[in-house]
Amino acid sequence: MSKPDMNRFQNYLLKVLFPAILLVAWTASCFAGEFDRIRSEVRDSGGESAPSPARPSRKDVEESEHRGHRSHEDSGRSHLDDDDDGFFGKLFFGALTSPFWGPHVALGDDFSMTQYFPEHPYENADGSMLADRTPRGAHGSSVVLQGQYGDNFDGIRHANARILMENVTRFGIDSEFNYRNEKLAAGHDELWTGDFNVTYRFAQSEQWQFRSGLGVNWLADHGSADAGFNFTYGTDWFPADPWVVTSVIDWGRIGDASLFHGRATIGVSHIGWGVFTGYDYFKIGDVDIQSWINGVELRF
């Protein structure tokens, strides 16, 4: 990819991909007692059983037969409508899958070349990957350890620990856990959440890595636990020494509730050690928690 193309691609991601995470998490208030609301969302769907379909009346049957005669006369027109539906369906599918094929095409990654990891970001590399193992310290695996502290400035704080392990086969493991503490009028409340995912790095270059995967979410408190399906999508960008920009989205379920977790950070890295700051958005059912986060990391 030429340098102008790479610059355009980076500008596109700065204007679309990272802001998209923030746009999904629009402003909402966080009230005391949110953890109880989360437990209620997870362990009680609150839904009602669907009513049994009503038996059609004679009038309904006659109207149905009349519509059947008219549908035969309109068959030619409906055929054209089907063609239009097919076109827009393909267009929608292409847009929906663009977060996967877009980076792959833009980076010119055809899976034919194995890339390796430097001893740490920007060591004998323009980012965090190498085209061969010639440079001193290049190796076939990478580990990222992160710890962060977050605060929503309304009584809820959290501590987070995350590990990301990858190798030259592009497969990896991404796992994290969160301890959340909520200040109440009478004491405090606690909640533990986390996930475990198997990932695949579907697009890569020295400066960009895109990965996605599947796994499980979990929630534990007061001696009980719940779990559910998780989908994850993450990006690491190394624009220039010493900067590191990351984003991660987790989307799935816990118990009877839906889950969305978005996180975007910017930081610096020096000989593997780094610090970062950013934004964290966590939503279970109708309960959302927004936090300003700060943390440290080690990449090796």
Residue-by-residue pLDDT tens, the chain, 300 positions? 555 556 666 665 556 555 554 554 443 333 347 888 887 888 775 444 444 455 555 555 456 555 655 555 555 555 555 566 677 777 777 787 888 889 989 999 988 888 999 999 999 889 999 988 888 889 999 999 999 999 999 999 999 999 999 999 999 999 999 999 999 988 999 999 999 999 999 999 999 999 999 999 999 988 889 999 999 999 999 999 999 999 999 999 999 999 999 999 999 999 999 999 999 999 999 999 999 999 999 999
Closest to 42 measured CA to CA, from 291, 221, 198: 221
pTM of the model: 0.75
**Cβ-based neighbour number of residue 202 at 10 Å:** 19
Domain boundaries 3-43+107-299, corresponding CATH code: 2.40.160
Q: How many CA atoms lie within 13 A of 173 on its CB side?
A: 9
Phi, psi of 2 (to 5 degrees): -70, 160
Beta strands in 152-272 (DSSP E): 156-167, 171-184, 187-204, 208-221, 224-237, 243-254, 257-270
